[in-house]
Homo-oligomer: A and B are copies of this chain.
Amino acid sequence: MDAIEKRVRASFGRQGLMSALGAEMTAVGAGTVEICCPFDKQHSQQHGFAHAGVITSILDSACGYAALSVAPMEYEVLTVEFKVNLLAPAVGERFVARAVVKRAGKTLTICSADAFAMKGDEEKLIATMLATMMRVPSV
């Protein structure tokens, strides 16, 4: 595990919400991050599917850490904004968010991410995010 991955995983480990959702970081590369979480009926919307807020949470963390993976060590990354399209009901055993850096500028990093519902070996695209992240000096 290199310095970048170590740093990304350490920050992810401090996100209480990821732990509350049972989320794991299943992959980290230079400009790419994958986060999975199980379906939990305690995090449902009104029909018993996963709430959009759950899917958005793993998409946002995946985008943020993809951006962090290409940031100089003296910077952290904050979410400026994102847009999410929900493409299908979040029905599955697990959900995975895969983010990739689309452009890393000096101040802003733009990421896109897709979320999939998994049932056995099958994956279904359920949501997509386009996000803007900002580098800020580490404190």
Interface positions of A (Cβ within 8 A of B) = 11-12, 14-20, 40-48, 51-54, 56-58, 60-61, 78-88, 102-103, 105, 107-108, 110, 112, 125, 128, 130, 132, 134
Contact = CB atoms under 8 A, between A and B. Distances in A.
A85 B110 contact: yes
A47 B15 CA distance: 8
22 contacts: A14-B45, A14-B48, A16-B40, A16-B42, A16-B45, A16-B51, A17-B42, A51-B61, A53-B53, A56-B56, A57-B57, A80-B108, A81-B86, A83-B84, A85-B102, A85-B132, A87-B102, A87-B103, A87-B105, A87-B110, A108-B134, A128-B130
Q: How many copies of the shown chain assemble into the complex?
A: 4
A97 to B, nearest CB: 11
Question: What does DSSP make chain A's interface, helix, strand, loop or mixed?
Answer: mixed
Contacts of A42: 16-17, 19-20
A86 B87 CA distance: 20
B60 A53 contact: yes
Contacts of A11: 46
Contacts of A41: 16
